[in-house]
Amino acid sequence: MLKTAGLDRAPMVRLGDANKGEFFTSGLEYNPPARGVWNIVHTGMLVPETHEIFACAQGCLRGVILTAAEMNALDRMSWISVSEQDMFDGTLESDVVDGVSEIIQKLPYRPRAVLLYLSCIHLFAGCDFDIIIDQLKEKFNDIRFSDCYMTPTMRKTISPDAKMRMQLYDALEPTDIDKKSVNILGNDRATDENSELVKLIKENGFTLRDITACRTYDEYLEMAKSAVNIAYLPTAAIGCEEVSKRLGTKGLYLPNAFEADKIRANMARLAEVLGVDTPDLSKQEEEAHNALEKARAVVGDTAIAIDFTAVTQPFGLAELLCSHGFNVRYIINDALGEDGDAFDRLKESHPDIEIYSAVNVNMLHFPEQEHEKVLAIGQKAAHYFSTDYFVNIVQNGGYYGFTGISAIAELISEAAVSKKDRRRLISHKGIGCESCI
Amino acid sequence: MKNVSTIIPCYAADTSGVCSALYELGGMTVVHDASGCNSTYSTHDEPRWYDRRSMIYISALTELDAVMGNDEKLIVDIVSAAKDQQPAFIALCGSPMPMMTGFDYRAVAEDIGHRTGIPCFGLETNGTRSYVSGASMALEALVREFVHDMQKDSFDGIGVNIVGATPLDFGLTGTVESVRKWLEDCGMKFISSIGMGSSLEDIRRAASAKVNLVVSYSGLGSARYMEKEFGIPYVCGVPLGNVQKDACAAELKKAACEGGSSYAPIKRGRDIDKRADMVVIGEAVLAGSIAYEWSVLTESAVDVICPPDTDAELSPDRKDIALYAEEDIKAYLEENGIKTVIADPLYKYVLPKGCRLIELPHFAFSGRCFARDMKDMVCKDLREMWDI
């Protein structure tokens, strides 16, 4: 347990004492060396045959360019740097238009689309992004330009990640609808083929489209045909809503919950929208139960730490594991997400679970403190609890529903007995992306 | 356009230079920028991040605080963190957003210093300049704050500070240790390394040195300050290769005994009138040192391109050029018929057809991509190393 006595801003709070919402006073932030979560560069690269162009200051460019370099994708990324002078001489828009034009003319290939990212300073200075896009469309009418945003300063309005997962589908335009097809939107990895979600779609004769499976730009454009759009990640919800509205199709947000009732309700809702029978999930539920029991036997009383990057509902997963007798001791999360119900129940049933901040400056030396053996679910938890026994996933790892619970239980069993190369794995930027390091 | 690149990266920015230069000294460095922006530095510009902790933090600036000019939040947050962590000093720098709002670093630093009783300095970075600018500012501020005039070291020989070494230029290759050993082999005494490899306590004794060895442009500002304030001359150069290291040693001894700073170890001199078909691309002092050795080994002219910036005095031959833009570098190599280039591997994208690339990974350029291939070049035979 962290010694918090005397600290002005303690990075830990007992669940029983935690308020709903933000758990810690905001302040200076530390950045732990866990790199598995995708950023806007990784996400943008999901659109095939496109080129990313970033316009921003050198300091901001550096991170995005080297993200592309590490994923061996420098040939799909260009940039325009913004100087002090540019910010004040009234040329913000024309610099971007001229820069993008020059880049396109110099590229050794013709991209089908360009994702153009502006930054905080552009928006802060009142830069007219619409004019930029309009002028570029006029100059290059065979290329689709999408406005994208690297605006972390504006994160309180909409996070850059959520905005990116919305703009990812900007090029989709209303078309004839194929009623027997469905999109899963906003994911950075494919949804598990064995999941009840995918099976419900495919076994009822629907075509499933997902940007992670698109190999060409034309395949990507075909996503506009799908009659139903599904999102299950919180950062994909707003994009799903926007795309559905724009395309005149049905949008469904089916959050990736760990509670049986919610999983059943999600599947029933999807079945209703697709006009098919609600599946009987009792077998999957029983398998999930068995997988958890098996994992519990392997894990024993080992303390478990869960972080918010591994699963989108860490309190939901904690509640599920506690109900199967796991010794969940720690949750790393700075603010409550969509699992408020699970939080409330856990607060009553397990008030001694400790919630840790992922960014509080007093977490700096936490890894060096003496820790019991901890099984971590997530990279940040592995880092902070200095454990090589960890489940290496982000955003539920593409798992969903009861089958997702089974899969995660198996990963927990495996992590309990097999050490991982923590340094190598958590240093890899964007789990699932190529890496040259 | 000068500010456009189709493929090659940009160099690390000024904020990363500040953080890198102050990393090992027990201070707290705060970058006034949005939440998450510190991952650029900690992932791509700081090879020590995983193994060695340092109080490098981001202010998590929001749009609202920027618009409302809520500097008090930043001040309170820093004071709180300082209370919990007791840093030896506090350095405050920032990104483009504070620059746009006219954030007053010096005033805020002074306020924090009063409230905490901890030395605090503001560094006016804005994320639009190179790491050389930031590291230079940070090292000079450090020296101004902590280095005071004192008796020269009682050692009979020559006490030397190494100034300007950071992982951004030298990686974690053991370069500082090698320079230190080389100094001792040459009968000189290592006093401190202002940059990496020394504690703040060591650096406090820097004025006891008789000469400074400036190993990067980042160290030049603080060396000039020490020359002015304490009369310590400096020599610019990295002791690499068989000839270059002897030139560095001779210049250090000469400067210590006779006074007067020197750029001789990066001056190719006799070849300046020749047209070069060889170029080194990189940080000014290191690239200049390599060019010196290479020109001796090949008896040919060697030019230097310094994309992260350079200084007129660092180009004693006027053959070192501060080209930044991808198009300018590409054009220079093509128009001058360059046959061989020593540069970071990512420059492969802009080389003319048939041009040979000798790879010299530069952390400030390609980050982690080739970090494992970076080499300690101190006193190494470059011919053997690179087959030149």
Distance CA A164, CA A338 (A): 20
Q: How far is B116 from chain A (nearest CA, A)?
A: 13
* Check whether domain B14-129 has CATH 3.40.50.1980, yes or no: yes
Domain boundaries, given as residue ranges, for chain B: 14-129, 158-265, 266-386
> Does the distance separating the beta carbons of B50 and A427 come in below 8 Å?
yes
Q: What is the pLDDT of residues A273-290, one digit of tens each?
A: 999 999 999 999 999 999
String of DSSP letters for B177-233 = HHHHHHHHHTTEEEEEEESSSS-HHHHHTGGG-SEEEE-SGGGHHHHHHHHHHH---
Beta-sheet pairing, B4-5 with A77-81: antiparallel
- Give B244 to chain A, closest Cα distance, Å: 32
Query: Residue B213 in contact with residue B179, Cβ under 8 Å?
Result: yes
Banded model confidence at residue B216, pLDDT cuts 50, 70, 90:
very high
Distance CA A197, CA B92 (A): 50
Contacts of B11 in chain A (CB under 8 A): 58, 62
Q: What are phi and psi of B158, to 5 degrees?
A: -110, 120
- The CATH architecture to which A48-167 belongs is 3-Layer(aba) Sandwich (3.40)
Q: Give the whole-angstrom CA distance, residue A129 versus residue A127.
A: 6
Rounded Cα distance, B116 and B107, in Å: 14
Q: Does A26 touch chain B (CB under 8 A)?
A: yes
- Per-residue model confidence (pLDDT) at position B212: 98
Domain ranges of chain A: 12-33+282-427, 48-167, 178-274
Residues in A closer than 8 angstroms to B45, CB to CB, are 62
Closest-CA residue to A437 (of B374, B366, B51, B368): B368
Report ipTM (2 d.p.): 0.95
- Interchain CB contact of B12 with A (< 8 Å): yes
CA atoms lying within 13 Å on the CB side of residue A108: 7
Instruction: Give the span between the Cα atoms of B244 and B356, in whole angstroms.
Output: 23
Provide the chain A residues 375-434 that lie in CB contact (below 8 A) with chain B: 423, 427, 429
Fold for A12-33+282-427, please state it.
Rossmann fold (3.40.50)
- Collect all residues of chain A within an 8 Å Cβ-Cβ radius of residue B115: none
Task: Give the pLDDT score at A40.
Answer: 95
Cβ neighbours for A330, distance < 8 A, ≥ 6 positions apart: A303, A304, A305, A306, A353, A354, A355, A356, A374, A381, A385
Interface test with A, best of B41, B44, B133, B168 (most A CBs within 10 A): B44
Over residues B202-231, the mean pLDDT reads 97
For B230-339, where are the E strands, in sequence order?
234-236, 278-281, 302-305, 320-321
What's B240's DSSP letter?
Answer: B
- Cα distance between residue A205 and residue B178, in whole Å: 68
The answer to whether the beta carbons of residues A386 and A371 sit under 8 Å apart is yes
Q: Closest chain A residue to B7 measured between Cα atoms?
A: A78
Residue B155 has pLDDT above 70, yes or no: no
pLDDT digits (tens, 9 = 90+) for A50-65: 999 999 999 999 999 9
Q: Provide the phi-psi class of A430: left if phi over 0, else alpha when psi is between -120 and 50, else beta.
A: left
> Which residue has tokens 């940007």?
A211
Cβ of B86 under 8 Å from any chain A Cβ? no
CB neighbour list of residue B222: distance below 8 Å, 6 or more residues apart: B136, B139, B140, B142, B143, B163, B164, B194
Sign of CA dihedral A431, A435, B4, B6: negative
Residue among B148, B163, B67, B81 nearest B120 (CA): B81
- ∠ at Cα B364 (B361, B370), nearest 5°? 30
* CA–CA gap between residue A64 and residue A54 (Å, rounded): 8
For residue A110, count other CB atoms closer than 10 A to its CB.
Answer: 11
**Are A12-33+282-427 and A178-274 equal in CATH topology?**
yes
Look at A74-88, B269-283, B340-354 and tell me which has the smallest mean pLDDT: B269-283
Tell me how many helices (H) and strands (E) chain B has: 16, 14
DSSP string, A236-269: HHHHHHHHHHHHT-EEEE-----SHHHHHHHHHH
Within an 8 Å CB–CB cutoff, is residue B312 touching chain A? Answer: no
pLDDT at residue B310, as a whole number: 84
Which candidate from A30, A103, A429 shows the least CB-CB separation from B43? A429
Contacts of B100 in chain A (CB under 8 A): 87, 121, 124-125
**Beta-carbon contacts of residue B141 (< 8 Å; ≥ 6 apart):** B91, B121, B123
Cβ contact, residue pair B78, A28, below 8 Å: yes
DSSP structural state of residue B35: T
What residues 328-387 of chain B have any CB closer than 8 A to a CB of chain A? 346, 349, 366-369, 371-372
E strand or H helix at A61? helix A58-70
Q: Which residues of B, range 97-136, sit inside 8 Å of A by Cβ?
A: 97, 99-100, 126-130
Q: Where are the alpha helices (DSSP H) in A280-419?
A: 282-299, 314-323, 340-349, 379-384, 401-417
Tell me the β-bridge partners of B341. B279, B357
CB contact (8 A) between residue A125 and residue B15: no
Non-local (6+) Cβ contacts of A64 within 8 A are A39, A40, A41, A52, A54, A77, A79, A117, A150
Low-confidence ranges of chain A (pLDDT < 50): none
A402/chain B closest Cα distance in angstroms: 33
Token digits of residue B39: 């991952």
- One-letter amino acid at A221 equals L
| A124's tokens | 């802060």
Which CATH code, of 1.10.760.10, 1.20.140.10, 3.40.50.1980, 1.10.490.10, is assigned to B158-265? 3.40.50.1980
The Cα of B201 is separated from the nearest Cα of chain A by a number of Å equal to 22
Pick the CATH number of A178-274 from 3.30.70.100, 3.40.50.1980, 3.40.50.2000, 3.30.70.1020: 3.40.50.1980
Written as one letter, the residue type at A290 is N
Q: Do the Cβ atoms of A353 and A326 come closer than 8 Å? A: no
The CATH fold assigned to B266-386 is: Rossmann fold (3.40.50)
Residue B9 is predicted with a pLDDT of 97
The edge-to-edge listing of strands for the beta sheet with A226-231 is A207-210, A178-184, A226-231, A250-253
The yes-or-no verdict on residue B76 having pLDDT over 90 is yes
Q: Does A205 touch chain B (CB under 8 A)?
A: no
CB interface of A with B, residues 81-100, below 8 Å? 81-84, 86-87, 95, 98-99
Q: Which residue bears the tokens 């139960």?
A: A289
Instruction: Answer yes or no: do A57 and B40 touch at CB < 8 A.
Output: no
Q: What is the mean pLDDT of residues B104-117?
A: 97
Q: Three-state SS for A280?
A: coil
Are B16 and A75 in contact (CB < 8 Å)? no
Distance from the Cα of A117 to chain B's closest Cα (Å) equals 14
Q: Angle A396-A361-A234 (CA atoms, 0-180°, nearest 5)?
A: 25
Chain B CB within 8 Å of residue A29 CB: yes
- Best mutation target among B8, B43, B363 (most A Cβ atoms within 10 Å) is B43
Measured between alpha carbons, how far is B276 from B340 in angstroms, rounded to an integer?
A: 10
Write down the pLDDT at residue B349. Answer: 96
CB neighbourhood size of B322 (10 A)? 18
What is the pTM for the complete model shown?
0.96
CA angle B73, B75, B78 (to 5 degrees): 105
Question: How many A-B residue pairs are in contact by the CB < 8 A criterion?
Answer: 206
Chain B, residues 66-85, CB within 8 A of chain A, namely 66, 77-78, 80-81, 83-85
Per-residue confidence at B73, pLDDT binned at 50, 70, 90? very high
Q: What does the pLDDT average to over B110-123?
A: 98
Between the CA of residue A54 and those of A107, B31, B42, B276, what are the distances in Å? 15, 22, 20, 35
For A266, list phi and psi in degrees, rounded to 5.
-60, -45
